[in-house]
Structure 1
């Protein structure tokens, strides 16, 4: 039995039915339906007995799929259909232990144990579907619509989780919601006749409490990579700093399932030398490269061995950028790469040299050097040979505008090679530009986004240099920053600038003997130190203690000027609607509120008495801006709109 009852105190005697269900790791196989749902004195022993599967088999509880970790807000991504997929950065399901609280008042308490949930690697069982039906209310039937042979879409619906008030422990609450979300995802993939390991899906969850207008997105991931546990972990991290986001509210959910999720071969050969005349196809490929990866032209040339050539060129880029490589070797690698991709050499010469280098790599990997086309299976063999290089493969499917992350190899490698496959051709890439721009950090060997240098694990906290090796046994006190530095070399470095325009760490951070806290210096933070303040309050616009009285600060002259500049240009749309009663009697249909801030979930109710049904028979709309202020003939404003129906 793979339950989670060990996380609950042994002497607990007041588990509610909902809390016991949340503790159970396999609700589809347990026997909680035999116990009254309104039970409030369920002992731990009773809960264990009810959770025991009646007909357990080893097949139902096989090894869990490999789970991935979604890190930080940059993982959330930008709107559906316009973002690059989220980068998976690990293989352990975790949540932040002590996230910073933003805003005033007492911070929210977190569970002592980190929240974990292992998703089942099978489609929902009848008992799981029954559990989902009792736990979730939906505005309408969640039915997938087939758009074409490879694409299924779920119309936007609103869902609300039931009986959350019965679960007092936050960790159990998250387990309960994670199960519901996971069952929902597996149910839709099953309806599309897909597979949990290879079928990718897109999921959008929107809540009125999200700061981002577009909501939360999972972009082109499989259930084996991202399930209910990863999604609820990401939502929980947002809830720590956003009190308006709560699980007791309703969510708008949209989902797409891609039937062509089975692993594609992605065979690449190369491109023929472009002929004289139109270059529309070549221009399109170069535009795609520049948009997604910031590369203005193709570098892999010739009509064969394009995958192996891309690996060789990417390996040169990695070796020339890796600080673990000697300075002499890095210069040599850069020179070789420049000669193979420079624009003042003929394409025939560069293609010949690249082909020679590719055949050398194939010979070292004991592969056929005369094979001109290479696909996914060949890439796996070469990735096993280049075991010290992380290899990421991207592609564009059909007319999609969103990159698909096809595969990751050698996740513990110290170097990086990026490959992009498009229409039978491979290119090497170094970073992503569209969506959430990211690149590989050769110092800590991780894929990272914006502001990674401030949090790089390879950087020494005391001196700011990545090549530093602290000596914990030695402590040298600095009178300027009041910090004990581990070692003489680290002490000397903390007085130097890590980069040309940066301050040394001695002038960046200091230790306050009064509040016993590390903080940034006034010179670095452009503000004075406040003893005891540990969190930035968004209301006070200043660093404050965890428990403090909030007060809005007085507007500054700079703030006033900024507001006035925003008010210089404006546009206003005024509209009015007149309605008539089109049918006598009472309207008994489902009530739907169109307000963006729905507090009462009447969208889910079948209220028998909603009053007379009204239909608009005239709608008037008028638009004016700061230029015309309502006068006719404005080029920016549209003419008044009048709709009548008699």
Structure 2
């Protein structure tokens, strides 16, 4: 009801948002209309609420499914977004802010940062901008040797960004071979007959044979396709700084094994059966690894060869040793590890493919973060966190 009141511009919106009696009364009314008892609700109850909320479309975003939408009601003009986490529903007032993006598409349910680059917006294939489709009155541009639908399309392709660039200056058609050229992709002047290689990220003759892509070329190519030109400049500056002084973090967990993992009915065996007779699962009855100590060394290329301890400090990467103790050791370490101060760091652990990777994966899962992983069988060899 809080989300509905916000969409309706309810005159007592602040009182509803602050959880006062009016919020409870509206919730009771909704439960009565949907014929649902006053109790903790689940997805099935949300479906019942949807049936009585005509004109509203409910979306449920699930933390356990890495912020994916697990329920979507019938299409309606007014859209309600709920965040399901830890068996509780919260209201998402702005999906772009929730996803950390500039815009949110209600067609494909994805966040994005640039209107022209989002396919659902159907950006014009000539000026690469978004505008209404009008009568075709083709207009030729002598500067880039390309044709545009009409005056609006022509003028938009001439518009310059804050850095003085435009579609006209970054895209042109060769007068001799007629090939469309995207200037940003060219590392050398255009030559007729060359074609763009998506593997090597450059233009080559038709006879070109490509091989494994060097790391530096990948970085150069990613720079061109970052979210904006302004972000390009920032990321390039940050990358050059990191190249000068790469950060490495080494850690090791020590765990206690006092607790036993059990199924819902409890671990029970017989003399003939080693597995639990209730669930037949191999994990039931095993000892749970609970981290209670984590020792961390943070170094860069300048201080890596030096001896580090709790009192040493590097003028570039800062404090060298961190120690996290107690029952909250894992969470304290992970909050520190995934902070902005450690962005871009390479993290290494001696027994990562053993059990040291699992506490980190559990933390990411509990916080709705989906990492990219490289596995070898059931063991995790690498985790990349966005």
TM-score bracket for this pair, using the shorter chain length: 0.3 to 0.5
- Which has the higher relative contact order, 1 or 2, with Cα contacts under 8 A spaced 6 or more apart? 1
If each structure's strand is expressed as a fraction of its own residues, which one has the higher value? 2
Q: TM-score, normalised by structure 2?
A: 0.43
TM-score by length of 1: 0.28
Specify the structure having the higher radius of gyration (Cα). 1
